[in-house]
Chains A and B, each alone.
Chain A
Amino acid sequence: MADVVVLGAGVAGHTAALHLKRLLGKEHTVTVVTPNSQWNWIPSNIWVGVGDMPAEKVLFPLADVYRKQKIEYLQAKAVAIHPDGSETDPRPFVDIEYTGQGRAGEPGTVHYDYLINATGPKLRFEATPGMGPGGYTHSVCTADHATHAAHALEASIAKMRAGERQTLVIGMGHGTCTCQGAAFEYVFNVDHTIRQAGVRDLATIVYLTNEAALGDFGVGGMVFDQEGFQTTSELWTKSLFRERGVLAIVGAHVERVEDGVIHYETLDGTKHSLAFDFSMLIPPFGGVGLKAYARDGGDITDTLFAPSGFMKVDADYTPKPYEQWKATDWPSTYEVPGYRNLFAVGIAFAPPHAISKPLKTPNGTAIAPAPPRTGMPSGVTGKAAAITIARRIKNPDAPAEPASMAHMGAACVASAGTGLTKGSAAAMTMLPVVPDYDRYPTGRDVRETRGELGLHGHWVKLMLHYLFLYKAKAKFGWPLIPE
């Protein structure tokens, strides 16, 4: 009998746990260690953040699903990994600290034969003084944050209804942020909500981003094939900003936020201050701060984790200039070097480098969007690790299931407003996520890399909402729903 442990029950970890149990059956144990008691379909937090959806619709309790699936569930956060065990205990194990189940604050240990680290991001609001729910800006990164953002937005709309002008600033809260898609979606949902409220003329909406150009999305932008022409995501996105009257500031690093003022620096090294009434800024992401120890108790955190706190896997981490970056630098098995039983998937693995070109201001400030690891790649890498483990439990020499972001595609549906007949979304697909200039002149397959705006995008987004919540609840036929 083998014990498989999954750290984190987000998109990657929950997908991995469900597939592991499906593949392994009763003979082996699957244990999920996660501090949250509810699963969150994060992409729909955008709708929670504009008050179009209550938080309950994007959340459900994990305990029921795990009980039905016979998956062990520990509501706890992982603290440290001992991949070689300890001097008194040769089995690998994880130190945990309970966060619920009536044991909050209690320490514990969980032994494993195979381990998946799917702990996702730490939301690093502290990187920018004054940013985040404890400061002066809002967030939509959790359902709770999104609910607060919706209340503040409602208050701002009430002021406009009373005739007061409002400036709303939405974007990225640091030069090294990723997840531009979320801020992009939120800005157009806010625009849509304010239009529906009939007060758009009293709102100045500003999109403040670390992308050097609109449409970059942290993936270096995309080249689309549209009606016989190659067009760029930059042109396409600019068109939407113009049409909707949303102002844009690009290549910006937010330095600090004060009550009602955002201070930022732009790529040319100049510094600016922007007054706001409502703001939602996405924080930069980092690893969750897991530690690692050798058998003799020596600290091996720096060996297993990158300085960002994300876990090193089978990628080529040799530092090299942008011009020398290759698609083959990206990992494919998510196996931690030296450990055939340890994997890091979803946002938790350390990417070898960015995808967008990293830039610096003349003052040396980095304006370098980090690479996104969206829902699709998170789910696919989680499933791939589950398949590898199931194979290796039968045959320890079995090869790993590959899932490189330089080969897989991703769909990104950026909502631009809700409503079954009035909604719209920018529906994009790209193949591969990490551009490969050795295989494609534009880095990606132009037949599969497309962008389209329209009501159908909203339907797709809504369909994905119901489909992925259905799947995450492990309801009948769930394995048929792809990641």
Chain B
Amino acid sequence: MTDPTAPTAQPLLDVSTAPLPTQRTLKMRRNIPFQLVRFVAFDLRIMRMVLKGHKGDAH
């Protein structure tokens, strides 16, 4: 009998159908030049949000 307190005996969420990243995606997530571009893009998005939504009354 399996131990009822073991991780395998828990109501674990089934994530087996979730999409896995491809090798290319995994590589791009660590590719320095590509990530530099994403870094700048993300910072610009934060700045836009700060300007657009931070006042809390902007529509």
* Chain A residues in the interface with B (C-beta under 8 A): 167, 204, 206, 214, 235, 238-239, 241-243, 247-250, 261, 266, 268, 270, 272-275, 332, 380, 384, 401-405, 407-411, 421-422, 424, 427, 429, 431-432, 439, 448, 450, 452-457, 459-460, 463, 482-483
Assess A266 versus B11: contact at CB under 8 Å? Given A407-B56, A448-B49.
yes
The complex places the Cα of A431 from the Cα of B56 at a distance, in Å, of 11
**Using a CB-CB cutoff of 8 Å, which residues 1-33 of chain B contact chain A?**
3-7, 9-13, 15-16, 18-21, 28-30, 32
- Show 22 A/B contacts (Cβ-Cβ < 8 Å), sorted by A: A235-B18, A239-B15, A239-B21, A242-B15, A243-B20, A247-B13, A249-B11, A272-B4, A272-B11, A380-B54, A401-B55, A403-B56, A403-B57, A407-B57, A411-B49, A424-B30, A429-B46, A448-B48, A448-B53, A452-B38, A457-B42, A460-B39
Q: Closest CB-CB distance, B23 to chain A, in whole Å?
A: 12
Assess A238 versus B3: contact at CB under 8 Å? Given A249-B10, A403-B55.
no
Q: Which residues of A contact B59 (CB under 8 A)?
A: 407, 439
Which partner residue on chain B sits nearest A252 by CB separation? B11
Assess A454 versus B52: contact at CB under 8 Å? Given A239-B21, A407-B57.
no
Which partner residue on chain B sits nearest A239 by CB separation? B18
Assess A432 versus B21: contact at CB under 8 Å? Given A167-B7, A448-B45, A456-B39.
no
Q: Which residues of A contact B19 (CB under 8 A)?
A: 235, 239
Assess A275 versus B6: contact at CB under 8 Å? Given A242-B18, A250-B13, A429-B46.
yes
A432/B53 in contact, CB under 8 A: yes
The complex places the Cα of A453 from the Cα of B59 at a distance, in Å, of 29
Q: Which residues of B contact A332 (CB under 8 A)?
A: 56-57
B35/A455 in contact, CB under 8 A: yes
A274/B49 in contact, CB under 8 A: no
Considering the complex of A and B, which 5 residue pairs feature the smallest CB-CB distances, nearest first? A403-B56, A238-B18, A409-B49, A275-B5, A456-B39
The complex places the Cα of A273 from the Cα of B7 at a distance, in Å, of 9
The majority secondary structure among interface residues of chain A is mixed
Instruction: Give the A-B pair count, Cβ closer than 8 A.
Output: 137
Q: Closest CB-CB distance, A365 to chain B, in whole Å?
A: 15
B43/A455 in contact, CB under 8 A: no
B43/A460 in contact, CB under 8 A: yes
The complex places the Cα of A457 from the Cα of B30 at a distance, in Å, of 11
Q: Closest CB-CB distance, B42 to chain A, in whole Å?
A: 5
The complex places the Cα of A407 from the Cα of B36 at a distance, in Å, of 30
Given contacts A273-B4, A275-B5, A405-B56, 15 further A-B pairs with CB under 8 A are A238-B18, A239-B15, A239-B19, A270-B11, A272-B9, A380-B54, A401-B55, A407-B56, A407-B57, A424-B30, A429-B45, A429-B49, A448-B52, A450-B45, A452-B38
Q: Which residues of B contact A248 (CB under 8 A)?
A: 12-13, 15
The complex places the Cα of A402 from the Cα of B4 at a distance, in Å, of 53
Q: Which residues of B contact A266 (CB under 8 A)?
A: 11
Q: Closest CB-CB distance, A265 to chain B, in whole Å?
A: 11
Q: Which residues of A contact B28 (CB under 8 A)?
A: 454
The majority secondary structure among interface residues of chain B is loop
A455/B29 in contact, CB under 8 A: yes
Q: Which residues of B contact A274 (CB under 8 A)?
A: 5, 7, 10
A482/B10 in contact, CB under 8 A: no
Q: Which residues of A contact B57 (CB under 8 A)?
A: 332, 402-404, 407
The complex places the Cα of A37 from the Cα of B46 at a distance, in Å, of 31
The complex places the Cα of A179 from the Cα of B10 at a distance, in Å, of 24
A408/B42 in contact, CB under 8 A: no
Q: Closest CB-CB distance, B10 to chain A, in whole Å?
A: 6
B45/A380 in contact, CB under 8 A: no
Assess A249 versus B12: contact at CB under 8 Å? Given A274-B7, A448-B49.
yes
Q: Which residues of B contact A249 (CB under 8 A)?
A: 10-13
Q: Closest CB-CB distance, B38 to chain A, in whole Å?
A: 4
Q: Which residues of B contact A454 (CB under 8 A)?
A: 28-30, 35, 38
The complex places the Cα of A247 from the Cα of B53 at a distance, in Å, of 36
A409/B5 in contact, CB under 8 A: no
Q: Which residues of B contact A384 (CB under 8 A)?
A: 56
Which partner residue on chain B sits nearest A248 by CB separation? B13
Q: Which residues of B contact A422 (CB under 8 A)?
A: 30
The complex places the Cα of A430 from the Cα of B50 at a distance, in Å, of 11
Q: Which residues of A contact B9 (CB under 8 A)?
A: 272
A272/B10 in contact, CB under 8 A: yes
A431/B20 in contact, CB under 8 A: no
Q: Which residues of A contact B15 (CB under 8 A)?
A: 214, 238-239, 241-242, 248
Choose one: B29, B42, B50; the contact of A460 (CB below 8 Å).
Answer: B42
Which partner residue on chain B sits nearest A457 by CB separation? B42
